[in-house]
């Protein structure tokens, strides 16, 4: 080869290889690296929306085996009309096991929420700016709420002993293997978070978001669960007296759950869903199935006959709007496998979409009832009945149906009156079994339905180990410091 | 140095680099020619040696001078004076009066002695006679291209397409016939002989095939590594449109599982056991010398499976799980050939040992556990009037069609191979099918001695339909097993029922027959890939090659639920998704090849860069009027999604190869590669391999040993990597793919792992190749493959905010033995050839981070990673049996006291039973047996594959044999050796059935583990070659007809549908799978 050619080849090869070196850090398009994702207050705001977004993930709150279902299925307001053991039936029948997907997902989702909140909380010093304080406050609220929801599922009720095992208290972003804190430690932590958050939040955001009164409302509930009745009243009052919320009138009330939260003056806090979450797999799809087409859902769990009959004491009761008895062509009650089919309508028809709903987490009626229960326990019986009567009046019950100290209508105590009203008013919103067990009362299901292993006649005592769920198996597998629930 | 180079080859720069490289090469080529023709020669030499004159001409012209050294030695010294002459003029002058001649060919001047023409001339013409004849093979097929010459002379001729030849014969008394792949043949001739017809026998022991390995080709005898070769013909016995599916059982150590009969599903491939868990365990595919790509089975010339480090090493980073090299056909020099291949057949679903209950059986079974008081109300006897077989309604006989037309042709300069293919397979499930068109064009052109170009284009389009029916929750596959035999599919008037009627008993309130009328799930995709390869011979011993491929894919998916159906929710719903992707790869190689005496050296240097990109967009709309399934017709947009993903790889490698006297071989290579997928701290990695072999049979002391054709010992060791993980896997990221209350939201999606790096496999291999008495070949390999820095999604405590983190943990060892035995049992009129391959593999976890157990698995079917245990260990509660006193299920509790003593007891409480090791899904051995019988024009092929000693988790039973948990699901019939508990004292296999379930008895436990061993007749083919007499009348060169059957028989004790489950990757779970198909096909091959 001639030297010229060697030169040409050499130049050519060098030329090709001496192209400018390029950046080898390829970054994803729909994500940002940790290092830059929380740089500015705007980033922190976006990430805070992300913490809220954890509330509406399928497995946290939307599908039928998520938070609102798992809470309600253990109570006596519902009845399953199919005999099969689907994912929901482990809750309905109290046949839990540590590997249940529903509780595993709920556990993981909860701590993801807590972790994302902690990432933000760690970035903000108090008093930097009102905007940042508000952001931090909202995250403190969300963190406390997530802990509280975990406590309801995995730890025994406070009155059964503050030294019992609570859940893992997570106030940092460390990758560690923590043990469970005691019930008291977790309650103290939640309360301090909420007090701090109420202090930091100064913007009156709508009911899709946290604000000062939202924190107060949750404090009222937590104090009630803790049997700190004075504080339960104090914080219920702070909400009731804030005049940010008011009860819907009776007619509007009948369509309460079709409102979007931001347009509902009674809702204190709700998990805002949009049309993406309109699917058969939602809790609404479990509670309701279009009677004509039978195609929109499953309708496999409905209101219990016991609950429907309780409502039936006052045919005027507006709360009839939230259940729908299905009838045979001849007008008799439709039954499935011997179980009356009664649809529940608290999780459907937001913006007209059959299975769309933004589950209500806190609403004003609960504040009246929190105050009533606390007053009943403190012996302020008249005040307790006054609050109950406010709720009953709003429900359209005639004066003859209201309580007086002289006429408790077959009830043996004012507390019993309050608890029954809580049951009537807050049914299907995830309160019933907790209300019973924290008050040391048994749950009695003497009505048709596939619950327990002795269907139609099922009783669970408040000291039953199974009133709470097992710590997820995946978690105990990975973290040897976790004690399992007995 | 190449480290510097690799840094350049990444990202968008690759495209630039490719374009520049091409431009430069083209310019260079053009210049070279221009110089050559324009250059004028000036010479002024006196008494110069002829050699020095030629050197000067070479220098001035740029032409190579090729000569016979002996010839030039004899040349006298010459005087020459030339000014400004053309090359030809110059040469003419130099050669004047010499007994030498020259030819200018391409860029070469070829010098040889002048032929001794006068002697030939002197031969009297009368003595010249001609012999003619025909050459055929043993079945009478004419053989084209057979060389026919007279013994002792080089000149000769070749046979034409009819096998005919004519040869003028001057002297000599033997004709020699030879052709690659056939045994040579000599025939004596006498002066009177005019016709010689010959039958050539196939050389069944053609052992020294050329094998495509990695970045080069080698003769098989030169290999130091463990490779298996599957020829295109062996591959194509099974009918499929998928090369992987066809490889099953054909190479030892290569395990292919087809866990589904869905024609749109791809099988899983594992070579030498899975040593990866989170990272992919599939091999790397290399098509026509370039990483990635795909090939239509009908275009495959051969498949080479590289198994040990010495062979896979060059693919360093991504070859830890082996490499499958696919070479497509190319045109051959010779007459144009047209091949047509058509087959047509029927598929039917195979349900194995699964038998669902009929109406009567289910009724009687449910009576045993129903409350007698309500049984007649809930289960009226009128149900027995109906007995629907839902499986029959869901499944059908599908049709498979496969037509290929291929043209191949070639001259010395240009060869081409063009093929077109149409493939259509209907699934055995209704509304499920796959349709493919494929066009391939492989063209090679030799411009001159120095420059060769290959252009390969492959175009594929695919249309697929997946079954969707009446519910977005349950498919027909689900409903076929689940629906109650008591439910009627049709109304009295013959119309289809919806399944929402009040009397519908089944849990799925939907009749899939109804949805099939309106709903569909369709996909289409097209991909085009183009290769441009240039080979430039810089010097006879130095070649530069550049391999470049661009690949584009486009796909669209449409899922439509009509408003009239249940899944349409009254408003109709349409989901579209769109996918676009491209891959660019450039591989540039410098090859040095030198033989000095008995020493032969080869060196290879490669620089390679690759970039992949894909984007996907999706949208969901609702509110569509019945029958309108385009997005414009949707009233509401519900959801939109879209993302983009990229990855890049760069690599540099050198390989050195040395062999002495074809007896001792050594090969070593060193590779540096980097990938964007890994952590910033560990992005690039070095790999190396070394191999050696000793061809004992070429030693002098062996050559006299009778019966030994080949004896070779091989050994290799190397470190190779695995990068089959998701893009961006090392980055800690916030995802922006969510919203709340209409606001864009971000949340932490993945924890960072800056230290994430390549999984590395260290493989040691020792192999022995034996060829005996021209009839037996055996390859034996033993290996030890230890994967370090194993990539694993390590479960994290949920309290950390993440559920897992991709980490490099511990190490896993796979040890094994592979045997491949090919024997020619009969070689007479009846030929019988057997090929058996079997592979034994044992995997073991050697180390884990802090030696801490890792429990993983889906749906509570847990697997355990524990030091010292098999990689695929089931970790479940151990089933004890049924309590005869009350019919309760029992599981084992293992109690360990303070002294470490263990006690075993049993419990009926599932939640407190002890999870423990209960077996493994790793098979003891896997393999295949192929038998081929040939008699005259008939041939019969039978191919079995087998797997032995693995446990399969039969998940189907937890649902359809559930002791009363699912009273609205149909249930499995019990087999003869199974029984249910009915009354105290019964000793049974099944617990008491209880409405709603008996104490979680159906939950995951060792109860559902079964022996998954099986042997399957994967394929049997009978074919017949049409006789020549008939063919010549039909103007065909070759024609054959065949009938073939896939999956006709399976021997197994497994009680589920199919013991064939995905092996490796800690799987081994079988559920409600799409059943595999029995296929019976008829086919025709024609060659014009």
Phi, psi of B1064 (to 5 degrees): 85, 175
Decide: residue A50, CB within 10 A, 0-12 exposed, 13-18 middle, 19+ buried: buried
Residues of A in contact with B795 (CB under 8 A): 474, 477-478
More confident residue, A3 or A262: A262
CB-closest option in A12, A30, A274 to B736: A30
Residue with the bigger pLDDT between B168 and B1084: it is B1084
pLDDT, mean of residues A251-255: 96
Cβ atoms within 10 Å, residue B719:
21
> CB B538 to CB A1 under 8 A?
yes
Q: Are B595 and B575 in contact (CB under 8 A)?
A: no
Q: What is the per-residue pLDDT for B117?
A: 36
- What residue of A is the nearest CA neighbor of B679? A25
Contact A120, A47 (CB under 8 A): yes
Yes or no, beta carbons of B473 and A281 under 8 Å apart? yes
Tens digit of pLDDT for each residue in B132-156? Answer: 888 887 767 778 778 788 877 766 7
Candidate from A49, A176, A479 with C-beta closest to B745: A49
Q: Is the pTM of this model over 0.90?
A: no
pLDDT tier, A4 (very low <50, low <70, confident <90, very high otherwise): low
A398: in domain: no
Interface contact flag, A175 B796, Cβ < 8 Å? yes
Task: Count CB atoms within 10 A of the CB of residue B843.
Answer: 24
- The tokens of B886 are what? 């009350």
Q: Which of A143, A295, A329, A484 to mutate to test the interface with B (most CBs of B within 10 A)?
A: A295
- HEC profile for B93-135? HHHCCCCEEEEEECCEEEEEECCCHHHHHHCCHHHCEEEEEEE
Residue of B nearest to A339 (CA): B378
Mean pLDDT on B656-663: 86
- Angle separating helix axes A41-55 and A130-154, nearest 10 degrees: 20
Are the beta carbons of B647 and A38 separated by less than 8 Å? no
* Region B874-884 average pLDDT: 95
Q: Which domain holds residue A317?
A: 275-357
pLDDT tens profile A147-173 = 999 999 999 999 999 999 999 999 999
A460 domain-assigned: no
CA distance B166 to B196: 10
Q: Give residue-wise pLDDT tens across range B5-37.
A: 333 334 344 444 444 444 444 444 333 333 334
A293 C-beta neighbours (distance < 10 Å), count: 16
**Under 8 Å CB-to-CB from A252, ≥6 apart: which residues?**
none
In a domain, A27, yes or no: no
Average confidence (pLDDT) over A138-144: 98
Q: Which residue of B has its CA nearest to A180?
A: B799
Q: Name, in order, each residue with C-beta under 8 angstroms of B765's C-beta and a sequence gap of 6 or more.
A: B225, B226, B307, B308, B309, B310, B714, B715, B716, B717, B781, B782, B783, B784
Nearest beta carbon to residue A32 from set B734, B969, B1004: B734
For residue B1000, the chain A residue with the least C-alpha distance is A95
pLDDT at B154: 63
Contacts of A277 in chain B (CB under 8 A): none
Note whether B373 and B379 are within 8 A (CB).
no
- Which chain A residue has its CA at the smallest distance from B741's CA? A272
Residues sharing a CB contact under 8 Å with residue B901, sequence separation 6 or more, in sequence order: none
pLDDT tens for each residue of B694-720: 888 888 787 677 778 888 898 989 888
pLDDT tens column, B994-1009: 988 888 899 999 999 9
Distance from CA of A234 to the nearest CA of B (A): 31
pLDDT at position B238 over 80: no
Nearest to B158 by CA among B144, B138, B140: B144
Residue B53 pLDDT = 78
How many A/B residue pairs have CB atoms within 8 Å? 277
Give the C-alpha separation, B1081 to B239, whole Å. 8
- pLDDT: is A239 or A21 the higher one? A239
pLDDT digits (tens, 9 = 90+) for A353-381: 889 999 999 999 999 999 999 999 999 99
Percent of chain B having pLDDT more than 90? 31
Distance from CA of A47 to the nearest CA of B (A): 5
pLDDT at B39: 59
More confident residue, A222 or B56: A222
Q: What mean pLDDT value characterizes chain B? A: 83
Of the candidates A21, A56, A174, the beta carbon closest to that of B7 is on A21
Compare CB distances from A474 to B31, B643, B795 and report the shortest one's residue. Answer: B795
Q: How far is CA B783 from the centre of its chain?
A: 22
Contact (Cβ atoms closer than 8 angstroms) between residue B481 and residue B1072: yes
A9 contact residues in B (CB cutoff 8 A): 28, 538
Minimal Cα–Cα distance from A296 to chain B, Å?
Answer: 5
Is the pLDDT at B114 greater than 80, yes or no?
Answer: no
Find where tokens 């797999």 sit: A281
DSSP readout, B1018-1073? EEEEEEEEPPHHHHHHHT-SEEEEEEEEEEEEEEE---SS-S----STT--EE-SP
- CA-CA distances (angstroms) from residue B1059 to B482, B669, B921? 21, 41, 11
* Bridge partners for B916 per DSSP: B876
Which of B45-49, B501-505, B666-670 is predicted least confidently?
B45-49
Q: Choose the mutation target among B371, B746, B803, B994 for the interface with A, i.e. most A CBs under 10 Å.
A: B746
Cβ within 8 Å, pair B741-A209? yes
With contact defined as beta carbons under 8 Å apart, do A183 and A155 qualify?
A: yes
For residue B187, pLDDT over 70 is answered with yes
**DSSP per position, B282-298:** SPEEEETTEEB----GG
Q: Is A328 inside a domain boundary?
A: yes
Cβ(B704)–Cβ(B350) below 8 Å: no
CA separation for the pair B658, B602 (Å, rounded): 6
In a domain, A257, yes or no: no
Give B924-934 pLDDT, tens digit per residue: 998 889 898 98
The domain tally of chain A equals 1
Residue of A nearest to B573 (CA): A279
In this structure, is residue A83 part of a structural domain? no
Chain B residues within 8 A of A38 when measuring between CB atoms: 734
Nearest by CB to B995, which of A17, A83, A104?
A83
Least confident stretch, B95-104, B381-390, B883-892: B95-104
**pLDDT tens per residue, range A425-467:** 999 999 999 999 999 999 999 999 988 665 667 899 999 999 9
Placement of tokens 């028989």 in the chain: B1049
A198 CA: distance to closest CA in chain B (Å): 22
Q: Reply yes or no on whether the pLDDT at B919 is more than 90.
A: yes
Cα A82 from Cα A90, distance rounded (Å)? 13
Closest residue in A to B31 (Cα) is: A5
Whether A284 is covered by a domain: the verdict is yes
How is residue B293 written in tokens?
């790509």
User: Looking at the predicted structure, is the pLDDT value of residue A140 above 60?
Assistant: yes
Judge: B13–A19 Cβ closer than 8 Å, yes or no.
Answer: yes
* pLDDT of residue B208 exceeding 60: no
Residue among A1, A22, A280 minimizing CB distance to B12: A22
Written as six digits, the tokens of B946 are 């087998």
Examine the pLDDT at B840 and tell me if it is beyond 80.
yes
**Residues of A whose CB is below 8 A from B727:** 26, 28
pLDDT per position as a tens digit, B784-805? 989 888 888 888 999 999 988 8
Q: Do B643 and A1 touch (CB under 8 A)?
A: no
Contact yes or no for B18/B548 (Cβ under 8 A): yes
More reliable by pLDDT, B346 or B674: B346
Chain B's closest residue to A277, CA to CA, is B638
CA neighbours within 13 Å on the CB side: how many for B362?
33
Mean pLDDT, range B538-559, rounded to an integer: 91
- Flag if B10 and A22 touch (Cβ within 8 Å): yes
**B877 pLDDT exceeds 90?**
yes
Distance of CA B558 to the CA centre of its chain: 29
Of the candidates B737, B845, B715, B736, the residue with the CA atom closest to the CA atom of residue B783: B715
Cα first-last separation, chain A: 86
Q: Which of A125-139, A142-156, B276-290, B577-591 has the lowest mean pLDDT?
A: B276-290
Q: What pLDDT, on a 0 to 100 scale, did the predictor assign at position B473?
A: 67
| Contact criterion met (CB < 8 Å) for B28 and A8 | yes
Average pLDDT over residues B475-486: 91
Q: Is residue A438 part of a domain?
A: no
Residues of A in contact with B645 (CB under 8 A): 28-29
Quote the pLDDT of residue B416: 93
Measure the N-to-C terminal CA separation of chain B; round to a whole number of Å.
54
Cα–Cα dist B880/B906, whole Å:
7
Which site among B747, B751, B1003 would you substitute to test the A interface, given the most A Cβ atoms closer than 10 Å to its Cβ? B747
What is the mean predicted confidence (pLDDT) over B1022-1038? 85
At B95, the pLDDT band (50, 70, 90 cuts) reads confident
Report yes or no: A252 and B444 within 8 Å, Cβ to Cβ.
Answer: no
Cβ atoms A411, A420 nearer than 8 A:
yes
| Contact predicate A103/A153, CB 8 Å | yes
- DSSP characters over B683-723: -EEEEEEEEEEEEGGGSHHHHTSTTEEEEEEEEEEEEEEE-
Give the number of C-alpha atoms closer than 13 A to the C-alpha of residue A63, restricted to the C-beta side: 14
Please give the residue of chain A at the shortest CA–CA distance from B969. Answer: A84
Question: Which residues in chain A are closer than 8 Å to B739, comparing Cβ atoms?
Answer: 49, 53, 274
Determine contact, residues B689/B313, Cβ cutoff 8 Å: yes
């Amino acid at each position: 080869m001639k030297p010229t050619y060697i030169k040409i080849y050499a130049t050519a090869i060098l030329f090709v290889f001496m192209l400018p070196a390029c950046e080898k850090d390829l970054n994803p398009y729909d994500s940002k690296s940790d290092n830059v994702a929380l740089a500015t207050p705007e980033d922190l705001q976006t990430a805070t929306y992300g913490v809220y977004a954890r509330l509406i993930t399928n497995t946290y709150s939307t599908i039928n085996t998520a938070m609102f279902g798992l809470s309600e299925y253990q109570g006596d307001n519902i009845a399953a009309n199919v005999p099969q053991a689907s994912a929901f039936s482990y809750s309905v029948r109290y046949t839990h096991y540590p590997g249940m997907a529903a509780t595993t997902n709920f556990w993981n989702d909860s701590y993801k929420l807590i972790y994302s909140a902690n990432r933000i909380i760690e970035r903000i010093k108090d008093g930097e700016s009102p905007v940042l304080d508000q952001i931090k406050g909202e995250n403190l609220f969300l963190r406390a709420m997530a802990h509280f929801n975990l406590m309801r599922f995995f730890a025994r009720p406070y009155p059964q002993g503050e030294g019992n095992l609570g859940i893992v208290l997570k106030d940092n972003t460390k990758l560690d293997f923590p043990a469970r804190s005691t019930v008291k430690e977790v309650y103290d932590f939640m309360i301090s978070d909420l007090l701090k958050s109420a202090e930091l939040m100064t913007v009156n955001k709508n009911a899709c978001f946290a604000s000062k009164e939202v924190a107060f409302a949750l404090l009222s509930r937590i104090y009630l669960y803790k049997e700190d009745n004075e504080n339960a009243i104090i914080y219920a009052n702070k909400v009731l007296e804030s005049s940010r919320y008011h009860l819907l009138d009776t007619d509007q009330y009948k369509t309460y759950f079709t409102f979007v939260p931001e347009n509902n003056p009674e809702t204190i806090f709700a998990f805002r869903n949009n049309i993406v979450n309109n699917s058969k797999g939602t809790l609404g799809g479990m509670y309701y199935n279009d009677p004509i087409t039978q195609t929109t859902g499953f309708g496999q769990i409905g209101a219990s006959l016991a609950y429907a009959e309780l409502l039936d004491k006052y045919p005027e009761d507006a709360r009839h709007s939230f259940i729908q008895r299905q009838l045979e062509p001849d007008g008799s009650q439709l039954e499935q496998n011997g179980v009356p089919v009664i649809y529940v309508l608290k999780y459907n028809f937001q913006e007209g979409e059959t299975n769309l709903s933004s589950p209500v987490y806190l609403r004003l009626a609960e504040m009246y009832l929190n105050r009533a229960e606390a007053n009943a326990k403190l012996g302020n019986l008249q005040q307790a009945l006054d609050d109950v009567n406010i709720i009953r009046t709003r429900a359209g019950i005639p004066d003859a149906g209201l309580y007086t100290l002289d006429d408790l209508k077959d009830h043996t105590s004012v507390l019993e009156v309050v608890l029954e009203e809580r049951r009537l008013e807050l049914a299907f919103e995830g309160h019933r079994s907790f209300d019973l067990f924290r008050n040391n009362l048994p749950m009695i299901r003497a009505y048709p339905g596939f619950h327990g292993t002795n269907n139609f006649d099922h009783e669970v005592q408040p000291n039953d180990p199974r009133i709470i769920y097992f710590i997820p198996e995946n978690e105990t597998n990975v973290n040897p410091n976790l004690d399992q629930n007995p | 140095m190449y480290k510097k180079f690799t840094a350049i080859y990444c990202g968008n720069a690759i495209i630039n680099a490719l374009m520049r490289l091409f431009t430069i090469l083209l310019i260079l080529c053009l210049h070279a020619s221009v110089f050559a023709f324009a250059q004028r020669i000036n010479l002024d030499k006196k008494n110069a040696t002829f050699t020095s004159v030629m050197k000067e001409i070479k220098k001035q012209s740029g032409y190579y001078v090729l000569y016979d050294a002996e010839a030039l030695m004899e040349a006298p010294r010459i005087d020459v004076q030339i000014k400004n002459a053309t090359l030809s003029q110059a040469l003419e002058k130099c050669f004047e009066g010499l007994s030498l001649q020259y030819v200018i060919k391409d860029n070469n001047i070829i010098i040889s002695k002048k032929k001794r023409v006068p002697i030939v001339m002197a031969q009297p013409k009368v003595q010249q006679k001609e012999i003619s004849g025909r050459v055929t093979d043993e079945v009478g097929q004419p053989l084209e291209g057979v060389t026919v010459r007279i013994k002792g002379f080089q000149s000769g001729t070749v046979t034409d397409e009819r096998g005919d030849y004519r040869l003028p014969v001057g002297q000599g008394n033997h004709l020699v016939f030879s052709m690659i792949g056939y045994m040579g043949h000599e025939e004596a001739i006498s002066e009177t002989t005019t016709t010689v017809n010959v039958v050539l026998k196939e050389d069944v022991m053609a052992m020294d095939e050329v094998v495509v390995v990695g970045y080069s080709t080698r003769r098989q005898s030169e290999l130091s590594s463990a490779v298996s070769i599957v020829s295109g013909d062996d591959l194509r016995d099974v009918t499929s449109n998928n090369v992987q599916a066809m490889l099953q059982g054909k190479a030892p150590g290569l395990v292919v599982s087809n866990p589904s009969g869905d024609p749109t599903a791809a099988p899983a491939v594992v070579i030498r056991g899975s040593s990866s868990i989170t990272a992919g365990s599939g091999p790397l595919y290399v098509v026509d010398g370039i990483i990635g790509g795909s090939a239509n089975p009908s275009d495959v010339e051969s498949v080479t499976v590289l198994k040990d480090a010495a062979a896979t090493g060059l693919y360093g980073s991504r070859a830890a799980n082996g490499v499958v090299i696919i070479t497509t056909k190319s045109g051959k020099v010779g007459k144009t050939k047209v091949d047509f291949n058509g087959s047509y057949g029927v598929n039917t679903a195979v349900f194995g040992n699964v038998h669902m209950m009929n109406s009567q059986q289910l009724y009687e079974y449910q009576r045993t556990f129903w409350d007698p008081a309500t049984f007649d109300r809930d289960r009226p006897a009128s149900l027995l009037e109906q007995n629907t077989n839902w499986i029959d309604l869901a499944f059908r006989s599908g049709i498979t069609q496969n037509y290929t037309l291929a043209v191949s042709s070639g001259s010395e300069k240009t060869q081409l191979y063009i093929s077109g293919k149409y493939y259509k397979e209907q699934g055995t499930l209704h509304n499920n099918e796959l349709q493919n068109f494929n066009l391939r064009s492989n063209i090679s052109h030799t411009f001159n001695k120095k420059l060769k170009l290959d252009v390969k284009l492959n175009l594929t389009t695919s249309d697929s339909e997946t079954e969707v029916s009446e519910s977005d929750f349950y498919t027909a596959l689900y409903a076929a097993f689940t629906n109650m035999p008591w439910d009627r599919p049709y109304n009295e008037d013959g119309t289809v029922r919806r399944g929402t009627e009040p009397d519908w008993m089944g849990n799925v309130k939907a009749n899939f027959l109804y949805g099939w009328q309106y709903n569909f799930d369709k996909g289409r995709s097209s991909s085009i890939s183009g290769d441009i390869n240039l080979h430039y011979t810089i010097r006879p011993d130095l070649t530069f090659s550049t391999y470049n491929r661009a690949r584009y894919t486009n796909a669209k998916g449409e899922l439509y639920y009509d408003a009239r159906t249940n899944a349409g929710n009254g408003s109709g719903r349409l989901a579209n998704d769109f996918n676009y992707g491209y891959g660019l790869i450039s591989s540039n190689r410098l090859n040095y090849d030198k033989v000095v005496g008995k020493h032969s050296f080869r060196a290879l240097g490669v620089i390679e860069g690759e970039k992949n990109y894909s984007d996907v967009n999706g949208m969901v709309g609702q509110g569509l009027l019945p029958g309108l399934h385009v997005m414009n017709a949707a009233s509401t947009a519900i959801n939109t999604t879209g993302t983009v993903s990229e990855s890049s790889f760069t690599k540099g490698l050198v390989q050195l190869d040395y062999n002495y006297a074809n007896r001792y071989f050594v090969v070593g290579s060193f590779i540096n590669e980097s990938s964007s997928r890994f952590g910033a701290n560990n992005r690039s990695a070095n790999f190396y391999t070394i191999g050696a072999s000793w061809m004992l049979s070429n030693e002098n002391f062996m050559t006299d040993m009778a019966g030994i054709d080949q004896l070779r010992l091989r050994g290799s060791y190397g470190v190779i990597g695995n990068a089959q993980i998701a893009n961006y896997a090392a980055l800690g990221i916030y995802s922006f793919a969510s919203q709340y209350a209409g606001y864009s939201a971000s949340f932490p999606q993945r924890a960072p792992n800056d230290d994430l790096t390549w999984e590395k496999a260290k493989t040691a291999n020792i192999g022995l190749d034996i060829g005996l008495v021209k009839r037996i070949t055996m390859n034996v390999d033993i290996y030890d493959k230890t994967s370090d820095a194993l990539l694993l999604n390590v479960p994290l405590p949920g309290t950390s905010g993440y559920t897992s983190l991709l980490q490099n943990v511990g190490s896993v060892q796979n040890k094994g033995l592979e045997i491949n035995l090919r024997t020619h049992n009969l070689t007479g009129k009846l030929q019988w050839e057997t090929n058996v391959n079997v592979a034994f593999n044992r995997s073991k976890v050697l180390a884990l981070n802090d030696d801490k157990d890792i429990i993983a698995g889906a749906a509570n079917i847990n697997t355990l990673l524990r030091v010292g245990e098999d990689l695929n260990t089931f970790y479940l509660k151990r089933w004890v049996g049924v309590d005869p006193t009350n019919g309760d299920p029992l599981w084992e509790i293992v109690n360990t006291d303070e002294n470490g003593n263990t006690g075993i007891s049993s419990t009926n409480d599932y939640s407190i039973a002890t999870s423990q090791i209960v077996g493994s899904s790793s098979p003891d051995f896997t393999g295949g047996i192929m038998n081929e019988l040939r008699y005259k024009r008939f041939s019969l092929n039978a191919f079995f594959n087998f797997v032995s000693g693995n446990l399969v988790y039969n998940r189907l039973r937890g649902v359809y044999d559930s002791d009363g948990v699912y009273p609205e699901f149909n249930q499995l019939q019990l087999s003869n050796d199974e029984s249910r508990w009915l009354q105290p004292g019964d000793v049974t296999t099944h617990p008491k059935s209880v409405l709603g379930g008996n104490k979680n008895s159906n939950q995951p436990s060792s109860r559902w583990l079964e022996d998954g061993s099986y042997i399957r007749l994967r394929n049997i083919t009978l074919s017949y070659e049409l006789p020549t007499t008939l063919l010549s009348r039909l103007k065909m060169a070759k024609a054959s007809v065949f009938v073939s059957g896939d999956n006709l028989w399976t021997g197994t004790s497994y009680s589920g549908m199919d013991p064939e489950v995905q092996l490796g990757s800690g799987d081994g779970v079988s559920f409600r799978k799409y059943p595999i198909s029995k296929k019976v096909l008829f086919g025709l091959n024609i060659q014009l």
